[in-house]
Amino acid sequence: MFRTIVVPVDMTNRNRPALDMAARLLAPRSLERQCASCHGPEGVYRNSDYAPQGRILLEEVRAVRDLLASVPRLIRGVKDQARKKDLETKYEQALVPLREAVHSAHAFVFDQMRERLAAARERSETLLTELANP
């Protein structure tokens, strides 16, 4: 469904900004500043929504990743092998929409990113609830 394109970062080539951004990982605030350099009021590709939306959505990606951070450790502590296998499968399924959200962000498809983040958060919360209530 999605294809990752990795290209060398060349900020002098303004014809391919989406590909350039796909090759870099930035913190939310740095991402907002970088987006604003091209998409802000003075930018070459004006779109004032990109910078703040990108920052907010990247912060949401980090929040979901934080939710899932302790899950592998908690699953390792499960003694029942059938339940453990089920939880491992659910963990992998919680990661799928998160990966899809990141791919959507690199393509600047914010609506799809929001939808995939919501699915990732829902799956993550369900999994954590199941881990907390055996």
pLDDT tens-digit profile of 93-102?
999 999 999 8
The percentage of residues in the chain with a pLDDT greater than 70, rounded to a whole number, is: 63
pLDDT tens digits along 31-55: 667 666 776 666 655 666 666 777 7
Two tokens, residue 34: 């970088």
d(CA 3, CA 77): 35
| Helices 110-132/50-69 angle, 10° precision | 20
Q: Which residue has the tokens 């949401």?
A: 60
Span of 1-10, 17-26, 56-65 with lowest mean pLDDT: 1-10
Closest by CA position to 40, among listed 27, 28, 53: 53
pTM exceeding the 0.75 threshold for the entire prediction = no
Is-contact 65 101, C-beta < 8 A?
A: no
Average pLDDT value for residue range 86-96: 95
Average pLDDT value for residue range 92-121: 90
Beta strand extents in 1-134 (DSSP E only): none
